[in-house]
């Protein structure tokens, strides 16, 4: 079935969608992804709240590039390549901090936090052709933000971030509207872990509601024992207690849009939060209704969403808000970084509830992540047979008419990802 080198079979007449497992194991595919995806798309760098004060910086790798994400002395958010213009050493070797200068410890060139080359030891030995102004730290070709979420792109020709996000902005707004001032902050600290699996399996897993009842049965039982209803809805096609949809947001972006059953720190109480939390959660909800009106407040508080911004940013807005990004370290390995975010104005008790929910479900010690990591690694192990058994089945929910809803536990949104991925990877 399918031709050599064909990545997907997308046969709408026969209602068949298959994925060639080669794309999860091949070095050639990974090399091409670096050129056609990670060098061509908007890639998430960080949130402005991580560098709140002038001089604040964090260093990280984005799309494989070491960068300094910082706020310069004038308060402008910047992204510099963390690479000395002299011979290429990294010029900032701390994970985070506050600095007026970045100092290269090799020969001592130093740079301002706006990237300008400030000082060159012994610069009288250079001839008149050498101008310090020619040697500011390089930057990614484009660097733009939405709601203080900053992205970089290595391709100067890309559409604006605003256009790239398109209708995904409304889902980002739903997350940020939890805050009375519309400003979320990334809470200090991050979760970092490696998974021995291809990075695209994490994209799928982040939005795949089909796996919840099986992979996460322990967590669901824990919820059930605390008084949450977890029995699947009787409606056809649903595997979760409440209804949920899969929404294609264009350009490879997509989201789930689910009626909540698992609690929302803003602002849907579940017994797990304890009776004493009820009053505060009702106050939070009343504020939402006053500010946003009943309908929008219900969208913010009573629905949850797992949003993917193509290719490697996931915002999980459920029982906590998680911003998660991941990058391949090889075909069968990825590095994951995840941050918790919350409204700026949150009280100590609401923040504690949020962080508790974040740690209970997500992260290397939570109910979900270890099980997810386990299944993704099992997939990668099974893929060693890809040449003998080359196609993954992905047609769940395929072939619905336009007016039939695409459900969260179908694979419509996963196919959205793969179609965009394929479009970028295959020569027209
Ligand atoms: S490599 Fe940085 S000063 Fe020489
Ligand atoms: Fe999961």
**Same domain, yes or no: 256 and 363:** yes
| pLDDT for the residue 273 | 86
The enclosing domain of 229 has a CATH number of 3.90.380.10
Whether 25 is covered by a domain: the verdict is no
The enclosing domain of 137 has a CATH number of 2.102.10.10
Phi, psi for 187 (deg, rounded to 5): -80, 135
- C-alpha to C-alpha distance for 143 and 150, rounded to whole angstroms: 7
Residue 393, beta-bridge partner list: 18
Is any ligand 1 atom within 6 A of the Cβ of residue 117?
A: no
**Same domain, yes or no: 220 and 356:** yes
**Same domain, yes or no: 135 and 178:** no
Q: What is the pLDDT of residues 217-266, one digit of tens each?
A: 988 888 888 888 888 877 777 788 888 999 999 999 999 999 888 888 88
Domain limit, last residue, from 106, 127, 153? 153
Give the contacts of 300 (CB within 8 A, at least 6 positions apart).
174, 177, 178, 266, 267, 288, 292
The angle at the Cα of 312, spanning 392 to 201, to the nearest 5 degrees, equals 25
Is any ligand 1 atom within 6 A of the Cβ of residue 87?
A: yes
**Same domain, yes or no: 203 and 63:** no
| pLDDT for the residue 2 | 44
**Helix boundaries (H) for 153-256:** 161-165, 168-176, 199-207, 212-215, 217-225
Residue 103, SS3 per DSSP: strand
| pLDDT for the residue 5 | 60
| Best probe residue, ligand 1, of 80, 81, 89, 136 (max atoms within 8 Å of C-beta) | 89
**Same domain, yes or no: 250 and 186:** yes
Is 409:306 a contact under the CB 8 Å cutoff? no
Domain limit, last residue, from 113, 132, 153? 153
Helix 199-207 to helix 369-382 angle (10° resolution) is: 130
370 Cα: distance to centroid of ligand 2 (angstroms): 9
**Same domain, yes or no: 62 and 120:** yes
**Same domain, yes or no: 117 and 199:** no
Whether 80 is covered by a domain: the verdict is yes
Atom of ligand 1 nearest to the CA of 107: 3
Whether 9 is covered by a domain: the verdict is no
- C-alpha to C-alpha distance for 145 and 151, rounded to whole angstroms: 6
251 Cα: distance to centroid of ligand 2 (angstroms): 24
Count structural domains, the chain: 2
Whether 17 is covered by a domain: the verdict is no
Identify which ligand lies nearest to the alpha carbon of 83. 1
Whether 12 is covered by a domain: the verdict is no
- C-alpha to C-alpha distance for 201 and 54, rounded to whole angstroms: 38
**Same domain, yes or no: 77 and 109:** yes
Helix 278-292 to helix 294-302 angle (10° resolution) is: 130
| Best probe residue, ligand 1, of 66, 86, 93, 105 (max atoms within 8 Å of C-beta) | 86
Helix 412-425 to helix 199-207 angle (10° resolution) is: 150
Alpha carbon nearest to ligand 1 atom 3, residue: 107
| pLDDT for the residue 4 | 54
Is any ligand 1 atom within 6 A of the Cβ of residue 130?
A: no
**Same domain, yes or no: 348 and 392:** yes
**Same domain, yes or no: 227 and 372:** yes
Is any ligand 1 atom within 6 A of the Cβ of residue 107?
A: yes
Is any ligand 1 atom within 6 A of the Cβ of residue 109?
A: yes
Is any ligand 1 atom within 6 A of the Cβ of residue 120?
A: no
**Same domain, yes or no: 181 and 108:** no
| Best probe residue, ligand 1, of 103, 107, 132 (max atoms within 8 Å of C-beta) | 107
Domain limit, last residue, from 121, 153, 185? 153
Whether 70 is covered by a domain: the verdict is yes
Residue 34 vs residues 37, 81, 144, 311: alpha-carbon distances, Å: 6, 17, 21, 11
374 Cα: distance to centroid of ligand 2 (angstroms): 10
**Same domain, yes or no: 185 and 130:** no
Instruction: Please list the ranges in the chain whose pLDDT falls under 70.
Output: 1-5
Q: What is the pLDDT of residues 276-316, one digit of tens each?
A: 889 999 999 999 999 999 999 999 999 999 999 999 999 99
Q: Give the residue numbers spanning the domain of 359.
A: 166-425
Residue 54 vs residues 57, 59, 146, 237, 343: alpha-carbon distances, Å: 9, 15, 20, 52, 22
Whether 194 is covered by a domain: the verdict is yes
Q: Which two tokens stand for residue 250?
A: 């264009």
Whether 1 is covered by a domain: the verdict is no
């Amino acid at each position: 079935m399918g031709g050599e080198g064909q990545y997907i079979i997308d046969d709408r007449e026969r209602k068949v969608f298959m994925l060639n497992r080669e794309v999860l194991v091949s070095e050639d595919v990974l090399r091409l992804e670096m050129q056609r995806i990670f060098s061509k798309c908007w890639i998430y760098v960080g949130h402005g709240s991580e560098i709140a004060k002038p001089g604040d910086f964090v260093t990280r790798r984005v799309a494989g590039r070491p960068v300094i994400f910082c706020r310069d002395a004038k308060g402008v958010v910047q992204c510099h390549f963390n690479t000395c213009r002299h011979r290429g050493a990294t010029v900032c070797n701390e994970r985070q901090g506050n600095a007026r200068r970045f100092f290269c410890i090799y020969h001592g060139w130093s740079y301002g936090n706006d990237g300008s080359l400030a000082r060159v030891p012994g610069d009288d030995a250079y001839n008149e052709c050498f101008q310090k102004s020619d040697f500011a730290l390089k930057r990614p070709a484009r660097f733009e933000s939405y709601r203080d979420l900053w992205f970089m792109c290595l391709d100067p020709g890309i559409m604006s971030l605003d256009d790239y996000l398109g209708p995904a902005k409304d889902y980002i707004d739903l997350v940020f509207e939890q805050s009375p001032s519309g400003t979320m902050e990334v809470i200090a600290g991050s979760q970092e872990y490696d998974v021995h699996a291809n990075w695209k399996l994490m994209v799928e897993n982040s939005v795949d509601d089909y796996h919840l009842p099986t992979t996460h049965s322990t967590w669901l039982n824990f919820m059930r024992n605390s008084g949450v209803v977890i029995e699947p809805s009787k409606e056809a096609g649903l595997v979760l207690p409440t209804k949920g949809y899969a929404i294609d947001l264009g350009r490879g972006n997509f989201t789930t849009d689910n009626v909540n059953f698992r609690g929302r720190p803003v602002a849907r109480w579940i017994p797990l939060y304890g009776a004493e939390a009820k009053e505060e959660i009702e106050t939070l909800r009343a504020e939402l209704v006053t500010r946003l009106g009943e309908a929008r407040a219900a969208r913010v508080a009573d629905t949850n969403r797992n949003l993917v911004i193509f290719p490697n940013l996931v915002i999980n807005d459920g029982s906590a808000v998680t911003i998660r990004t991941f990058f391949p370290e090889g075909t069968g390995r990825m590095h994951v970084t995840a941050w918790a975010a919350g409204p700026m104005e949150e009280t100590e008790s609401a923040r504690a509830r949020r962080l508790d929910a974040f740690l209970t479900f997500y992260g290397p010690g939570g109910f979900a992540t270890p099980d997810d990591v386990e299944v993704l690694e099992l997939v990668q192990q099974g893929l060693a047979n890809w040449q003998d058994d080359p196609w993954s089945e992905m047609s769940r929910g395929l072939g619905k008419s336009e007016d039939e809803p695409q459900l969260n536990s179908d694979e419509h949104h996963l196919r959205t990802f793969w179609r965009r991925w394929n479009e970028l990877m295959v020569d027209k």
